Amino acid sequence: TSLTEEALPLLTAGVSLPRYDRGAVTTGIVHIGVGNFHRSHQAMYLDTLMNDGAALDWGICGIGLQPSNAAMRDALAAQDGLYTLVIRHGDGSWDARVIGSVVEYLFAPDDPQAAIEKLADPATRIVSLTVTEGGYYLDAVTGEFNAADQAIQADLAPGAVPRTLFGLVTEALARRRARGVPAFTVLSCDNIQGNGHISARTFTAFARLRDPELADWIAGHVRFPNCMVDRITPKTTDEDRAELSRRFGIDDQWPVLCEPFTQWVLEDDFADGRPPLQDAGVQIVPDVEPYELMKLRLLNASHHALCYPGHLTGLRFVHEVTTDPLFAGFLLDYMTGEAIPTLRPVPGVDLAGYAHQLIERFSNPEVRDTVARLCANASDCIPKFLLPVIREQLAAGRPVTRSAAVVATWARYAEGTDENGEPHELDDDLAPQLRAAARRQREQPTAFLDGNRAVFGELADEPRFTRVYTAILGSLIERGVRETYADLDRFAD
Ligand code: NAD
């Protein structure tokens, strides 16, 4: 059955359906960047509230800015905004649920004025975002807003029809201010530490270039709460579509499949109200930073702690690595012995329990997350997720053996072949220099650290770290990953 509003009564009993009258839902949230993650996460929380008869004035209008979003426009238009969310359990079972909270979708290139007017509409009280890290136009070196970007410059030209996130949202805010309509909240749900702070900086920086008074009004009236979001949501494949049709009889052009776990930790800082998200399981907290650090140093750093030893020993799926007791034990030792001691207490969270739960999430064979995906962009990620752990552990005189092993396996991986001699590409902005440095390390054991000062900084000169690191790297080269990991404690400093 093709998924449409009309076809809902025809769907099999095993599928959960919206229990509310979608015709009565009005738009309160405009979401820019409707992709898989927005649909597995924020839109699902709203749908949960609507199923309980709440938040019916917080329906979602998606806006797509990029040419490629025409595909989302067409898929949602054909299905009255409906799509299937599939939760894949580790035992192979699927839960299918039709989500109804996305009630409108505008493709800005078709009609930029309609998108701006939607944003300017007094009923729009939250503008949420999942536009990836690149969507914020941050300068790679300074981390500040990159106003020199061509698309940004084009949007700043007098009389320009805005095309970027910043151009569109700022024009809408200018209209609201001129019309006496209150400002909305900008709610970034991207995976960036301090996503609210970054949004505040970038939106006011853009507005200041356009009109300093408008920038002051935005700084004074728009709110930019920080939030931490978590739910592993891979891309949808044709196989997924076919399997959904086979299991549930639903023909959905663009279903979303994800893991059972979901988390949203949010600061309560809204300009013009918000849905009662706490009733759908969202944690509302005064400060998300402890939760962010927990996620970055446990979940994200563990991705790197598992992908290099996994890849080097020939494993290609995440669950294959974490169901191997040698590597699961290594990850737990890293988390409990080195990462958790650097974290402040996280209200309401048992960190050791969180660590065990991560191993369980990574071990779900149904999610089919790939080791290759996790190996990518290490030079961006490792300095944010892992090196702060090493620095804090060293400063406190505590062990760094497992963290050093992560860096050493990365260095070994950067040589470009696994232990079976199979070559691989390095998917990294710094790939040439990483590879060149790694290929010198068999003669010069600290070459990878010395040759990548932009990544490692002063850690390359820290004897307590380099001693452990070079001993482990030597063992990886000589004896291989498995033998090295079998008795890592012999390298302890
Ligand atoms: P996706 O590719 O399905 O969707 C990304 C959306 O962002 C698309 O609509 C794309 O057009 C839009 N976009 C990209 N660059 C843009 C720009 N410069 N301006 C405007 N729109 C732009 O990806 P996704 O899986 O939905 O993930 C999106 C983001 O969500 C991630 O980058 C991450 O920050 C966050 N996130 C994802 C996951 C996950 O597991 N997928 C988990 C947590 C957080």
Q: pLDDT digits over 328-375, tens only? A: 999 999 999 999 999 999 988 999 999 999 999 999 999 888 999 899
pLDDT of residue 171: 98
Q: How far is CA 386 from CA 95, 378, 383, in A?
A: 35, 10, 6
Ligand 1 atom at shortest distance from the alpha carbon of 231: 42
For 460-473, what is each residue's pLDDT tens digit?
A: 999 999 999 999 99
Q: Is 106's C-beta closer than 6 angstroms to any atom of ligand 1?
A: no
Distance 256 CA to ligand 1 centre (A): 13
Average model confidence (pLDDT) across the chain: 96
pLDDT higher than threshold 80 for residue 493: no
Nearest to 160 by CA among 113, 127, 119: 113
Q: Is 65's C-beta closer than 6 angstroms to any atom of ligand 1?
A: yes
Residues 85 and 174: their CA atoms lie apart, in Å, by 37
Residues 200 and 334: their CA atoms lie apart, in Å, by 35
pLDDT of residue 13: 80
Phi/psi of residue 168, each to 5°? Answer: -65, -50
pLDDT of residue 334: 98
Q: Amino acid identity, residue 80?
A: D
Ligand 1 atom at shortest distance from the alpha carbon of 233: 40
Residue 176, SS3 per DSSP: helix
Q: Amino acid identity, residue 280?
A: A
Would you say the pTM of this structure is higher than 0.95?
no
Which CATH architecture is the domain 289-491 placed in? Orthogonal Bundle (1.10)
Ligand 1 atom at shortest distance from the alpha carbon of 137: 18
pLDDT of residue 74: 98
Nearest residue (by CA) to ligand 1, atom 9, is 33
Sign of the alpha-carbon torsion through 447, 453, 454, 455: positive
Ligand 1 atom at shortest distance from the alpha carbon of 37: 26
In this predicted complex, what is the ipTM?
0.99
Q: Is 190's C-beta closer than 6 angstroms to any atom of ligand 1?
A: yes
Q: Tokens 């009109």 identify what position?
A: 211
Nearest residue (by CA) to ligand 1, atom 43, is 230
Nearest residue (by CA) to ligand 1, atom 37, is 37
Q: Is 37's C-beta closer than 6 angstroms to any atom of ligand 1?
A: yes
Give the contacts of 420 (CB within 8 A, at least 6 positions apart): 314
Q: Is 228's C-beta closer than 6 angstroms to any atom of ligand 1?
A: no
For 284-321, what is each residue's pLDDT tens digit?
A: 999 999 999 999 999 999 999 999 999 999 999 999 99
Q: Is 134's C-beta closer than 6 angstroms to any atom of ligand 1?
A: yes
The answer to whether 377 and 428 are in contact (CB under 8 A) is: yes
In the chain, what are the domain boundaries?
A: 8-285, 289-491
Nearest residue (by CA) to ligand 1, atom 10, is 33
Ligand 1 atom at shortest distance from the alpha carbon of 232: 40
Q: Is 263's C-beta closer than 6 angstroms to any atom of ligand 1?
A: no
For 470-482, what is each residue's pLDDT tens digit?
A: 999 999 999 999 9
CATH class of 8-285: alpha beta
Q: Is 377's C-beta closer than 6 angstroms to any atom of ligand 1?
A: no
Sorting pLDDT into bands at 50, 70 and 90, what band is 195? very high
Residues 306 and 36: their CA atoms lie apart, in Å, by 25
Ligand 1 atom at shortest distance from the alpha carbon of 190: 34
Ligand 1 atom at shortest distance from the alpha carbon of 191: 34
* In the chain, % of residues over pLDDT 90: 93
Distance 133 CA to ligand 1 centre (A): 8
